[in-house]
Chain A
Amino acid sequence: MAWYLVKRLLQLIPVFFGATLLVYFLVFMTPGDPLAALCGDKGCTPGVAAALTEQYHLNDPFFVQYFSYIGGLLTGDLGVNFSGREISEVLAGAFPATARLAIIALIFEAIFGITFGLYAGLKKGGWFDSTVLVLSLIVIAVPIFVLGFVMQYFVGVKWGLAKPTVSGAADWSDLILPGIVLGLVSFAQVLRLTRTAVAENASADYVRTATAKGLTRGRVVRVHILRNSMIPVATFLGMDLGALMGGAIVTEGIFNVPGIGNQLYKALTLGDAPMVVSVVSVMVIIFCVANLLVDLLYAWLDPRIRYA
């Protein structure tokens, strides 16, 4: 177990440095003046330009630039954005709303995805299964911004079931609709994944043996089928955090949620490159940590991994 953990941590290090290096390289090494990239369409005043040059060590060799940037990233010093605010401050302010949004989405997709998937998988080929399969394909196919607008229009504007846009505080209740929109595509994927795993495990030999032991159907389903089907689903939920962060940009934009995605969206429209690079780097860190957690969860769920 300890060896497994150490191995995973060791593997995470090159991934972290590789991914941040990739982002950094793309921003600063693609054709064109990095200063121009940082300053965006409107250009910088000489003062800002000087500050940026110093902040990103633009006059130093590439790796010095990169490591000072990593140092800043790890110590929470992300520099300032166009409007001169500390980026770390902006992110800290926006973080709670995004965290709440992601939690709602994850809970929604986990609970409903697993429940529906379990039921469909146990009755594979039945009417519920067939209906749910087609519906889930449709949900997966509709892009999140189309879905967002449609839900906002009907649920928020036409039927008045929820506030169409989020006001300043971004309470839990305000975020339910955006959270569901954000989690909807993943919900369909969790559903399909659970269904496949359940259908496969339901015909596994050990499930037949468990039945032959005299266990009730309920216990067989809970203790043997569902428990074993959770292994791939848990992995997916962890990986899904990356997709949720991508989706959050669009969802937060549509519902005007004051979160990190919205900041990124604004930064994109303003051409605020320092902000974009910082937000994406922070997201990469979150993603790496989430992956590590998934690995731990995976080892906890599957004893075979622990001893590998």
Chain B
Amino acid sequence: MPENNFENNDATGRDPNPEARSHEAAVREVRETADTPAGSHQKDLGGLSTGIMMEHFVADVARTPVTATDSRSAEGAPVSLWRDAWRQLRKKPTFIIAALLIVLVIVVALFPQLFWTQDPSAATSQCLLENSNGKASPGHPMGFTAQGCDVYSRVIAGTRASLMVGLFTTIGVVVIGGIIGALAGYFGGWIDGLLARLGDIFFALPLILGALVVMQLPYFKAHRGVWTLVLVLVLFGWPQIARIMRGAVVEVRNADYVVSARSLGVSSLGILIRHIIPNAMAPVIVIATISLGTFIVAESTLSYLGIGLPPSMMSWGNDISDAKDAFRSNPMPVFWPGLALSLTVLSFIMLGDALRDALDPKARKK
């Protein structure tokens, strides 16, 4: 391609002369020698060589009025970061869908009785073997499990456990990871080094593997439940938030407004709480929202493996685990809780994604 370059130049009509480049080089040389006397200091040229083109042009002042230097007139209500984010969010379809789904999930978790036809855990509700693997029928829109239980009621009832694990684990990791990350990022030095190594150690044990080792221990097996699971997931889940928090704190730690606050005499802790953490929260909130989804998945995965929530507790993971053996003959008892699980997780991930865009500091710096 480089060899064709000269011809190509001609094709674009840059220079009508067929010997374009070499000729031009010659011309340049001539010009160079001709211009040397005046060329050394350009401003001395004045308007000599190109005088024809150099008239003094002034734009019509009426069309190009000079406005006051450096003013920005702001109209409407003052816009804080959160208000600005909200303005963007409420126009976003993914945010609206995600928010509506999350509200629905929360309502179902709080008031399952509004949705189910009968309480699946109540003594009166009976799983009738005659309904085993039954197809959907009026009042039982999702069919029956191998034990003949109503899938719909179980899906409704399983919401609470999954959501609780996700929510409380997230609160736990934000508090613990947030504090550790903020301290590491703010103080730096050996504290940072120590906490970073500690995070690395926990990071080397991926969430599921770590939780697996702990949950199969007899002590934990004997005390299975929402709180045990939350504890274990927080134990292995905090390093991620700590890393995010640390990064965000390091980014704002040296901002001029922090130095200003220091030269006002605000204490270290005061600066951390009043200036640094509020400015470092945005990425943490985004990741925490997404993590909420991830923790729900972790809970259901552990339950699926038979070491998460106890079998007596209704959860989506347990339901899928129970139904998986009969999967090829009756896939629906796997499908429906799987769908509920996926939709819930999807809403949290979508919400986090929308928040990420809305809180992006780059987009805000106008």
Interface residues of A (CB under 8 A from B): 11, 14-16, 18-19, 22-23, 26-27, 30-32, 36-37, 40-41, 134, 137-138, 140-146, 149-150, 153, 157, 242-243, 245-247, 249-250, 253, 264-265, 268-269, 271, 273, 276-277, 280, 283-284, 287-288, 291
- In the complex formed, the residue of B with least CB distance to A288 is B204
Q: Is the CB of A268 within 8 A of B212?
A: yes
Given A153-B328, A268-B307, is A145 in contact with B320 using a C-beta cutoff of 8 Å? yes
User: Which residues of chain A are near B201, meaning CB under 8 Å?
Assistant: 14-15, 18-19, 22
Partner of B209 from A140, A245, A288 at Cβ < 8 Å: A245
Q: Is the CB of B214 within 8 A of A26?
A: yes
| Cα–Cα, bound, A201→B198 (Å) | 33
Q: Which of B15-23, B104-112, B261-269, B338-346 contacts A (4 or more CB under 8 A)?
A: B338-346
Q: Is the CB of A27 within 8 A of B217?
A: yes
Question: B207: CB under 8 A from chain A?
Answer: yes
| Cα–Cα, bound, A157→B293 (Å) | 30
Question: B304: CB under 8 A from chain A?
Answer: yes
Q: Is the CB of A146 within 8 A of B200?
A: no
The bracket for how many chain B residues form the interface is 35 or more
Q: Is the CB of A141 within 8 A of B204?
A: no
Q: Is the CB of A283 within 8 A of B209?
A: yes
Q: Is the CB of B349 within 8 A of A140?
A: yes
| Cα–Cα, bound, A26→B205 (Å) | 12
- The binding surface of chain A is classed by DSSP as helix
Given A15-B200, A19-B201, A283-B209, is A150 in contact with B305 using a C-beta cutoff of 8 Å? no
Q: Is the CB of B212 within 8 A of A242?
A: no
User: Which residues of chain B are near A265, meaning CB under 8 Å?
Assistant: 305
Q: Is the CB of A22 within 8 A of B346?
A: no
Q: Is the CB of B216 within 8 A of A145?
A: no
| Cα–Cα, bound, A10→B212 (Å) | 29
| Cα–Cα, bound, A134→B214 (Å) | 35
Q: Is the CB of B204 within 8 A of A287?
A: yes
Q: Is the CB of B212 within 8 A of A280?
A: yes
| Cα–Cα, bound, A18→B202 (Å) | 8
Given A137-B350, A276-B213, is A284 in contact with B205 using a C-beta cutoff of 8 Å? yes
Question: B197: CB under 8 A from chain A?
Answer: yes
- Nearest 7 pairs of A and B residues by beta carbon: A18-B201, A141-B346, A246-B208, A146-B338, A242-B206, A19-B204, A141-B345
| Cα–Cα, bound, A156→B94 (Å) | 33
Partner of A30 from B94, B217, B350 at Cβ < 8 Å: B217
Least CB distance, A6 to chain B, in whole angstroms: 16
- In the complex formed, the residue of A with least CB distance to B353 is A137
User: Which residues of chain B are near A23, meaning CB under 8 Å?
Assistant: 205, 213
Could you pull out 28 A-B pairs where Cβ atoms are within 8 angstroms? A11-B197, A11-B200, A14-B200, A18-B200, A27-B213, A30-B214, A30-B220, A31-B219, A40-B218, A138-B342, A142-B346, A143-B297, A143-B301, A145-B300, A145-B304, A145-B324, A146-B334, A149-B334, A149-B338, A242-B204, A245-B206, A246-B207, A249-B305, A273-B216, A280-B205, A280-B209, A280-B213, A284-B209
